[in-house]
Amino acid sequence: MLAETMAKMNKGRIGIQLYSVKDELPVDFEGTLKKLSAMGYSSVEPYGFDGDKFFGYTMKEVSSIVKGMGMTLSGSHINSGIVLSEDINAKEWDFWRKCADSLKSGGGKWAIQASVPIAKTMDDLKRTVAYFNHAGEVCRRGGMKFAFHNHYEEFEKIEGEVILDYIIKNTDPQLVSFQLDLAHTLNGGGDCVHYLRDYPGRIRLWHASDFNLERKEYTELGKGSVPYSALFEIAKSSGLECLVIEQETQGDIFTSCKADIDYLKQFKWTKA
């Protein structure tokens, strides 16, 4: 019976960022993951990974745990502590090699830079681009893919350039992909359709989230202003590979996570 359970993988292509259940994991790690599996999530994406362990587990161990629940490890957000200096030392790249090796051991595909210090000058932006290209090369050599996850600050402008657009246009497409957080994009004044339509092949990952522009608050999927129907119409042509829900609302988080996945199941792309 146990073997049958472990062999049966959840159908569909909808993963979840485990930051959504950050308060629940420390209380009952495996119980929380089981609840997410029961909802139908097919993969998990840890957060804050620094090359060592996630809640005391290696990435290989995390992968084994979720595999027994019918899920996979898609990758992880990386806590690199990036510093936009002109002289990044070798230890920074050793860090990325360690992360890539750990994620690969767990079957993950994506090493995701979760955020960066807010760029204030064009030199900051140029250093960000150089850092991403180098980290991407290190990850590629380690058998992983590198991506950057935005927040809302990346829609500010420097010398007339929107920060996120500048980074997309000036990083190497062979080394750097992007995980567009849809709610943060709206909150920052960005246009989700623009990014998927105008940068085909660069937005390989989505953080499916929602933001209500009228109330200025994050909400459950389908209850905000993210134009999901329009986005899924261009999901394939945009190059979407990995769809991960992130929920940052207050209240019963499991009810919200269930509502989120049920909402996304209506879209054809999410089917296995």
CA atoms within 13 A on the CB side of 158: 16
* Mean pLDDT on 206-232: 97
The reported pLDDT for the residue numbered 89 is 67
Q: Residue 80 pLDDT > 90, yes or no?
A: no
* Mean pLDDT on 193-198: 98
* Mean pLDDT on 69-82: 91
The predicted-structure confidence for 118-132, as pLDDT tens digits, reads as follows: 889 999 999 999 999
Q: Residue 5 pLDDT > 60, yes or no?
A: no
The predicted-structure confidence for 12-41, as pLDDT tens digits, reads as follows: 999 999 999 999 999 999 999 999 999 999
* Mean pLDDT on 136-149: 97
What is this structure's pTM?
0.94
Q: Residue 92 pLDDT > 90, yes or no?
A: no
> For the chain, which residues make up each domain, given as ranges?
2-270
Q: Residue 184 pLDDT > 50, yes or no?
A: yes
The reported pLDDT for the residue numbered 84 is 58
* Mean pLDDT on 180-205: 98
Q: Above pLDDT 70, what percent of the chain?
A: 94
Among the residue ranges 188-192, 197-201, 245-249, 260-264, the one predicted with the least confidence is 245-249
Beta pairing, strands 145-149 & 210-212: unpaired
The reported pLDDT for the residue numbered 8 is 80
* Mean pLDDT on 160-178: 98
Q: Residue 4 pLDDT > 90, yes or no?
A: no
**Those residues with Cβ within 8 angstroms of residue 4's Cβ, 6 or more apart along the chain or in another chain:** none
Q: Residue 90 pLDDT > 80, yes or no?
A: no
The reported pLDDT for the residue numbered 117 is 82
For tokens 């993969």, name the residue. Answer: 43
CA atoms within 13 A on the CB side of 13: 15
**Those residues with Cβ within 8 angstroms of residue 241's Cβ, 6 or more apart along the chain or in another chain:** 204, 205
**DSSP-derived secondary structure for the chain:** -HHHHHH-PPPSSEEEEGGGGTTTTTT-HHHHHHHHHHHT--EEE--SB-SS-BTTB-HHHHHHHHHTTT-EE-EEEE-------S---HHHHHHHHHHHHHHHHTT--EEEE---PPP-SHHHHHHHHHHHHHHHHHHHHTT-EEEEE--SGGGSEETTEEHHHHHHHHS-TTTEEEEEEHHHHHHTT--HHHHHHHSTTT--EEEE-EEETTTTEEESTTSSS--HHHHHHTHHHHT--EEEE----SS-HHHHHHHHHHHHTTSGGG--
CATH number of 2-270: 3.20.20.150
The predicted-structure confidence for 44-68, as pLDDT tens digits, reads as follows: 999 999 999 999 999 999 999 999 9
The reported pLDDT for the residue numbered 250 is 83
CA distance 11 to 92: 38
Residues in the chain: 272
CA distance 30 to 222: 29
